[in-house]
Amino acid sequence: MKQPTTEARRSGQSPPVVPHVDVTLTVNGTAYALRVDARVTLLDALRDHLGLTGAKKGCDQGACGACTVMVDGKRVVACLVLAAQCEGREVTTIEGLSRDGRPHPMQAAFARHDAFQCGYCTPGQIMSAVCLVAEGRAGTDEDIREFMSGNLCRCGAYPNIRAAIRDVTGEG
């Protein structure tokens, strides 16, 4: 059991009670009823409550893109979105991209172009790339560079990532 802070003990106050919320998350087409701490991020709900570990916890500050998922078809960094904010919305993770055991065309292109090295950022890169193409923002290498700039790759696989995206758009 968590103990009150030193300041709370001195003042005789009880520690604040953290409310829990009931939320139904629709993830990859399946609805999940959860009771979570109101402060739980979408990333933590996916990983810790649903066991979907494709989205990675990188910086936990929205700067690296390793946790990128789609919410209602738009890319979001799941570490900055509360799970409760996703009630009634469709969440798609890297686990939900493949169909009938076949990889999504972007997943296949990443494999063909060796667009990963350590693989840690790959799920976020793929999710962002799928959205980038859907948004119509993959016209040039400069566009791809700009609109993928929120997804960092410490291994430096950027040329291969761009090649994979161009491959899917028919430009590669």
Total Cβ atoms within 10 A of residue 69: 30
77's enclosing H/E stretch is strand 74-77
DSSP 36: E
- Give pLDDT, residue 1: 43
Beta bridge partners, 10, equal none
Total Cβ atoms within 10 A of residue 62: 16
Q: What is the mean pLDDT of each run of 10 residues along the chain (172 residues)?
A: 53 78 98 97 98 97 98 98 98 96 97 95 98 96 96 96 96 70
Residue spans in the chain of domains classed CATH 3.10.20.30: 19-96
Q: Report yes or no: 118 and 155 within 8 Å, Cβ to Cβ.
A: yes
Correct CATH for 105-169 of 3.40.718.10, 1.10.150.120, 2.170.8.10, 3.40.630.10: 1.10.150.120
> CATH code for 19-96?
3.10.20.30
Q: Report yes or no: 99 and 122 within 8 Å, Cβ to Cβ.
A: no
Residue spans in the chain of domains classed CATH 1.10.150.120: 105-169
